[in-house]
Amino acid sequence: MPAYDPNNIFARILRGEIPNRTVLETEHTLAFHDIMPKAPVHVLVIPKGAYVSYDDFAANAPDAEILDFTRAVARLTRELGVDLDNGQGYRAITNAGEHGVQEVPHFHLHILGGRNIGRMIDPA
Ligand code: AMP
């Protein structure tokens, strides 16, 4: 696992050094609008703790942080109107490392919705 870079842009958002459009904040989790949205709904969900990737978070975060993050996703999909009780669905994506084409090395989940998101990946 690469060392966590404390100067990545999401760490700076968490420290309040650069602004964000917050959608939801809980004890351990922050969700905010992506600055370059790829769909009518494009929200990023991040843990407040320092984790590089989903596997880093899943392996190393305390249970309370994982529970908080997971429940925050459920709240968010409802509040964004993309959950399957009230809306028409969404895609959740997380990118890791070079092959995942991860730009920001702080674990984040993209929630995309508000239209049909299309097939999962482009054929190579
Ligand atoms: P990824 O390729 O999964 O690392 O995605 C990084 C995402 O962060 C991209 O969708 C960017 O548009 C988004 N992003 C980068 N800087 C910011 C920022 N300051 N505020 C909100 N989203 C950002």
- Provide the β-strand partners of residue 111: 43, 92
Output the pLDDT for position 70. Answer: 98
Output the pLDDT for position 124. Answer: 65
Domain architecture of the chain: domains with CATH: 9-113 (3.30.428.10)
How far is ligand 1, taken at its centre, from the CA of residue 103, in Å? 7
How far is ligand 1, taken at its centre, from the CA of residue 76, in Å? 18
Name the closest-CA residue to atom 17, ligand 1. 35
> Using the 8-state DSSP alphabet, how is residue 48 labeled?
S
How many Å apart are CA 112 and CA 102, to the nearest integer?
Answer: 16
Which residue has tokens 């993050």?
69
Q: Which atom of ligand 1 is found nearest the CA of 18?
A: 19
CA 26 from centre of chain: 14
Sequence letter at residue 98 = E
Q: Which atom of ligand 1 is found nearest the CA of 103?
A: 4
pLDDT tens, N- to C-terminus, the chain (124 residues): 899 999 999 999 999 999 999 999 999 999 999 999 999 999 999 999 999 999 999 999 999 999 999 999 999 999 999 999 999 999 999 999 999 999 999 999 999 999 999 998 876 6
Residues annotated as part of the active site: 108
